[in-house]
Amino acid sequence: MPNEYTALPDPAGLGTVRGMPRRPVSPGSEPVAGLTAPPVTDGSFPATARTRVRRADRASYDRALVHAILDEAPLCHVAFVIDGTPFVVPMLHGRVEDTLYLHGLPASRIMRHLRAGAEVCVEATLVDGWVMARSSFHHSVNYRSAVVLGPGRLVRSRREKLDGLRAIVEHLAPGRWADARPPSEPELRQTQVVAIPIREASAKVRTGPPADDPGDLALPVWAGVIPVHATFGAPAADASGERAPLPAYLAALIAGPSADPPR
């Protein structure tokens, strides 16, 4: 019997939701195009008093860049304050257009906070390289990071809840949602999905070599960038129960973006 979840239409174009398709990430020595200054385009978020980056040469409010960082980052950190106590928790996320979806058990502190509509700060970071300078002072890291500020909204619509869960699963591995068993009704009841609008957001990017002082350039100390890559290891199949062959979409994910998918 066809399952109603799999029969859902795809009004938001979720078939194109991108999760971690480009890992391992690009080496830190490769510049990210157009990021030396915040682009002034219709595709930018406004810089607010809360998101204006002090170091403007590394800042961007470009919507596509913020989306790309959120999509490539394997996880995010969600910060919130309750009764004056700050908390930060790592979470999985998924994005659909300008909405970030998080999920969790209703009893957790973060989900109780989020479903009350309270404000959170979400951060996602990609580390692209260690920057080794000739002086200890100028050591740095090449990175791309995004910060999103906004209120949580408990997703009540069954359709949107499934869309949010699909975005989170697809973020882990594109193609997984259609392959794995869909959530049952009890599983859906045990899981809450919260939406955070991606409206007040910023990105920060550092690329390039160390910024050594001119007086240090003659020092006999190695300086440069050591690229940092995220890679997958050899998959270990679960031995309990039926064993299925590794699907092509997972093999492609493990192989990385530069390899051709296995034939």
Ligand X SMILES: Cc1cc2nc3c(=O)[nH]c(=O)nc-3n(C[C@H](O)[C@H](O)[C@H](O)COP(=O)(O)OP(=O)(O)OC[C@H]3O[C@@H](n4cnc5c(N)ncnc54)[C@H](O)[C@@H]3O)c2cc1C
C-alpha 79/C-alpha 164 separation (Å) is 20
Judged by CB under 6 A, does residue 127 bind ligand X?
Answer: no
Residue with tokens 């997984």: 176
Of 76, 74, 91, 93, residue with least CA distance to 232: 74
Q: Which stretch binds ligand X (CB under 6 A): 2-10, 106-114, 122-130, 242-250?
A: 106-114
Run of H or E including 77: strand 76-82
Among 8, 12, 47, 92, binds ligand X (CB under 6 A): 92
CB of 27 to ligand X, least distance (A): 24
Q: How far apart are CA 171 and CA 130, in angstroms?
A: 26
Q: Could you give the CA distance from residue 72 to residue 80 in angstroms, rounded to a whole number?
A: 23
| Residue 114 C-beta: closest distance to ligand X, Å | 10
Q: DSSP letters along 170-216, please?
A: HHHSTTHHHHSPPPPHHHHHH-EEEEEE--EEEEEEE-SS----GGG
Nearer to ligand X, 18 or 138 (CB): 18
CB proximity list for 254: less than 8 A, separation 6 or greater: 232, 235
Q: Is 89 in the site for ligand X (CB under 6 A)?
A: yes
The 46-75 site mask, x for binding ligand X (CB under 6 A), equals -----------------------------x
Q: Is 91 in the site for ligand X (CB under 6 A)?
A: yes
**Which of 9, 13, 90, 214 is the binder for ligand X (CB under 6 A)?**
90
Residue type, 81: V
Beta bridge partners of 193: 103
Contact call for residue 220 and ligand X (CB under 6 A)? no
Between 131 and 146, name the residue whose CB sits nearer to ligand X: 146
Compute the least distance from the CB of residue 107 to ligand X, in Å: 6
Cα separation, 235 vs 232, in Å, equals 8
- 104 binds ligand X per the rule CB under 6 A: yes
The residue whose Cβ lies closest to ligand X is 104
Q: Of 17-25, 98-106, 200-208, 222-230, which part binds ligand X (CB under 6 A)?
A: 98-106
Q: Point out which span in 47-55, 89-97, 159-167, 169-177 binds ligand X (CB under 6 A).
A: 89-97
Q: Which listed range, 101-109, 128-136, 156-164, 220-228, lies at the site for ligand X (CB under 6 A)?
A: 101-109
Give the Cα separation of 171 and 92 in Å (integer). Answer: 8
Q: What angle do CA 77, 13, 121 make, to 5 degrees?
A: 20
Out of 34, 57, 87, 257, the only residue in the binding site for ligand X (CB under 6 A) is 87
Under rule CB under 6 A, how many of the chain's residues touch ligand X? 12
> What is the contact surface with ligand X in residues (CB under 6 A)?
75, 87, 89-92, 103-105, 108-110
